[in-house]
Homo-oligomer: A and B are copies of this chain.
Amino acid sequence: MVTIAVDAMGGENAPKSEVEGAIRAVRALELKVILVGQRDILKKELDQHPGARDLPIEIKHASEVVTMDDSAAKAFRTKRDSSIRIASRLVREGVAQGVVSAGNTGAVMATAKMVQGMVRGVDRPALASAFPTLKGRPVIVVDVGANVDCSATMLAQFAIMGDIYSRTIFHNARPRVGLLSIGEEEHKGNELTRSVTPILKSLPINFIGNVEGRDIYAGDTDVIVCDGFVGNIALKVSEGLVDMIAHMLREALKSTISRKVGYLLARSAFAEFKKRLDYSEYGGAPLLGVKGVCIITHGSSNANAMKNTIRVAAEFAEGRINERIEDELGRSAGFRTGPAAD
């Protein structure tokens, strides 16, 4: 049975969402959760839920908490007994197979990289995120923020890791992998995209060429590769636009009586629509390329989002994604254009 270590102090609603999410996860799925954080607080929170003591949930004490304002490097240096660090250590020691956190993204990434270590052949871990699409099936965008300045070799590794993610978790037999650029033609792009194209063509993946920003939501691509600066902008622009659209619709719908009545009649349609747009349904952003599993979710995650993230962490652990990455990067090692970091 898979064990997932949950950083129970990281999110904005910690430890409430984390504890409730863990309870929902172990009730719905075959797995064990270790809640990492201040023992007294976690015990008290668990006791709010009748019957929780009989569930496969353990508490592991960690005296310190990394806040959203801490810098990643400083948190790693000075908070050696933080909940995120202890959680990562449980994975390194083999006590848990994966870690889940809604905490400070930079600190979680740095800790996972340094404590859990990197898969052989990976120069830099990358953050992947699943976006909803018109066709209903999500598309994986990688990297959405772990690496701001990327080499062609790094992007090629992201493509291989994203391909494995799509096959393992979304069961796409032969994922269509696209390179995010500003035009479909091969010559349209920047220095980085032009230099990575021949490498992507040489890999044993189903590379379909350049895709544009609007193709993210079209659903005709399964994996989209880009540097972490561009991927983060794509993700955040989308979040901002969804907020604006929701606000505009709300304003427009409450301005007259007939619109209000219309809204009441169609309310369930809006709820359904909101759910389809909700990123938390997809279960967080995995950090691909670290040993063991590390999944980062929104700081504002509720219990349902935490539960989904724990589920995805278990699926990653069971899918042995890291072993596949090591294996396939080893077989594709010829594409390297620069010195490796390992």
Contact = CB atoms under 8 A, between A and B. Distances in A.
A242 B244 CA distance: 11
A182 B214 contact: no
A270 B248 CA distance: 10
A219 to B, nearest CB: 8
A29 interface: no
A243 interface: yes
Interface stretch (A2-10, A14-22, A157-165, A271-279): A271-279
A188 B178 CA distance: 27
A240 interface: yes
A190 interface: yes
Given A262-B265, A269-B259, A269-B262, A214 B240 contact: yes
B269 A182 contact: no
Contact of A213 (B134, B149, B180, B233): B233
Given A277-B245, A277-B248, A266 B269 contact: no
Contacts of A148: 182, 189-191
Contact of A237 (B149, B214, B277): B214
A252 B233 contact: no
A158 to B, nearest CB: 16
Contacts of A266: 253, 258-259, 262-263, 266
Contacts of A335: none
A148 B188 CA distance: 9
13 contacts: A148-B189, A182-B228, A213-B233, A213-B237, A217-B241, A233-B233, A237-B238, A241-B242, A253-B266, A256-B268, A262-B265, A262-B267, A262-B269
Interface of A: 132-134, 145, 148-149, 180-182, 189-191, 212-218, 226-230, 232-245, 247-249, 252-253, 255-256, 258-259, 261-270, 272-273, 276-277
A-B complex: 6 closest residue pairs judged by Cβ atoms: A213-B236, A262-B265, A262-B266, A214-B240, A252-B269, A213-B237
Given A217-B241, A262-B262, 15 more contacts: A133-B244, A181-B229, A213-B233, A213-B235, A214-B237, A216-B237, A216-B241, A217-B243, A237-B238, A249-B269, A252-B270, A255-B269, A259-B265, A262-B263, A262-B267
